[in-house]
Each structure stands twice: as structure tokens, then as C-alpha cells.
Amino acid sequence: MKKSNVFALIELSKFVDALKKDSKATLKDKLKSQSSYFNIIDPKYFSEELAPDWADLQRIANQKGVKRDEDGFMVMNAVRHTVETMSEEECLNFVGKVEKLAEKVKKEFEY
């Protein structure tokens, strides 16, 4: 079995670490501030086994699509827009899935 690319391991680890940082920001705010990871990390960087998991997380994160103003200009990207509509509990469940995937990727690199 082909392992995930080290890029996925490093970037996903940084993403999870940023979400776990002890700060006054809510989990929702942390997710919004780290939303670019869903665009930076491509499923091709994951093993065949884990790529569908990341693709599913990307799909969920982009579910609401971009938010546009009355003139059609984008005012919020798809991930931030989706997270904005999530409850704190939904954010917690979603982050749990990201953390589980990060653990699976780490295990691929253990000898």
C-alpha cells in the first residue's frame, strides 16, 4: 500500500495543531481562520485508502458554496460560508473527523 505524501502529514498536522491551540476563539472561528487548508491539501497527497476521507471532508466543508452579495461579488469563500452556518456541536463533530484522519495519516508513517 502506498503511504500518504509527507506534505499531507505535515499540513494536516499543522491544521489540527492550530485547531487545538488554547485561545479565546471559538472552534467555529478557528475553523474559519484555518479554512485554506481545505484548498491547499489535495486528495492526491493521501494514500488510496485515505484520499476518499479527505475528499469527503472537503465536500462537507464546501457544501454551502461561496456567499455573494446582491451584485454577485464573492464576499465569503465556500468553506468559511459553510462553517458560518454550522453549530458549535457540528463544528466539534467535523473537527473530530479531521483529527481522526490526521491520526490515520500519522500511523501510515510509523514503522
* Average confidence (pLDDT) per 10 residues, the chain, 111 residues: 91 96 89 95 97 98 94 93 96 97 95 69
Question: Measured between alpha carbons, how far is 44 from 65 in angstroms, rounded to an integer?
Answer: 22
DSSP letter (8 states) at residue 24: S
Report CA torsion sign: 47, 49, 54, 56: positive
pLDDT of residue 24: 86
pLDDT of residue 65: 93
Residues with Cβ within 8 Å of 5's Cβ and at least 6 positions away in sequence, in order, are 45, 46
Helix, strand, coil distribution of the chain in percent, nearest 5: 60, 5, 35
pLDDT of residue 78: 94
pTM: 0.91
Spell out the domain ranges in the chain: 6-108
pLDDT of residue 2: 83
The residue among 71, 73, 85, 108 whose CA lies nearest residue 32 is: 85
